[in-house]
Each structure stands twice: as C-alpha cells, then as structure tokens.
Amino acid sequence: GAGVSQSPSNKVTEKGKDVELRCDPISGHTALYWYRQSLGQGLEFLIYFQGNSAPDKSGLPSDRFSAERTGGSVSTLTIQRTQQEDSAVYLCASSFGYGRGGFEQFFGPGTRLTVL
C-alpha cells in the first residue's frame, strides 16, 4: 500500500510569507506526528495528533506554527510570517494506535523548506 506522502517536496519562500505543508498518512493510522530536521537542532518533535485532536503540542516552537488534522486523515502544518531559522526539512509520520505504545512510526519523505 501507499506510504506517508508529503507535499510539496520542496518549498522556497521569502521571509515574512506564510506557508502550508501537507501530510497524507497511511490509511487507517490514527496517530500522526510532525517533526523537523535541521543541521543545528537534529530531529525535533513538533506536534502529535490522535484522530483530529492534538494531545501534545509541546514541540511547536512559537505561535507562528499551527497544525490541524481533518477527518482523522490529512494534516496541514502552517507557518506564519516565516523566518530564516524556520528553514529545515519537515517530516510527517503516522502510526497505529494509542495506549500501549511502541508502535512503529512510518515517515514520509519530508518537505524541504527554505526561507530566503
């Protein structure tokens, strides 16, 4: 079956513009995660969705970052008034379940964001 897909694969924007990044999880996966990967900070957690609710938003770095998930499926990460330090690869992952834990998270190919 299809894996996690993300779009766009690359996004170049100017400082101060808003961007939207999209994630399509694996069908049937109830959990969805956003991470970002940058040279200086490594892999950082941003936000976790279980269904359409977000029980853990602790990784969002500022109020310029927001995310939503609709229909328990597609998620959009929005960055408002982008800054150069937002340049990174944004990764989405999905998995089964909740509760016991230890479920494998399947990662998408990422969106490379460059803020000029």
Partner 1 sequence: AQSVTQLGSHVSVSEGALVLLRCNYSSSVPPYLFWYVQYPNQGLQLLLKYTSAATLVKGINGFEAEFKKSETSFHLTKPSAHMSDAAEYFCAVSGTGANSKLTFGKGITLSVRP
List contacts with partner 1 (CB under 8 A): 31, 33, 35, 42-45, 48, 50, 55-56, 59, 91, 93, 95, 98-110
The CB-of-2 to partner 1 minimum distance in angstroms stands at 14
> Which tokens in the block code for residue 102?
């230890």
Which of 11, 44 has the CB closer to partner 1? 44
Q: Does residue 85 sit in helix, strand or coil?
A: helix
> Which tokens in the block code for residue 33?
């995660």
Which of 5, 80 has the CB closer to partner 1? 5
Provide CB contacts within 8 A for 37, sequence distance 6+.
43, 44, 88, 89, 90, 91, 110
Which of 5, 13 has the CB closer to partner 1? 5
Q: From CA 65, how far away is CA 82, in angstroms rounded?
A: 9
- Tokens 């998270």 correspond to 105
The CB-of-92 to partner 1 minimum distance in angstroms stands at 10
The CB-of-108 to partner 1 minimum distance in angstroms stands at 6
Which of 4, 82 has the CB closer to partner 1? 4
What is the DSSP pairing of strand 111-115 with strand 10-13? parallel
Q: For residue 18, report the phi and psi dihedrals to the nearest 5 degrees.
A: -95, 145
The CB-of-57 to partner 1 minimum distance in angstroms stands at 11
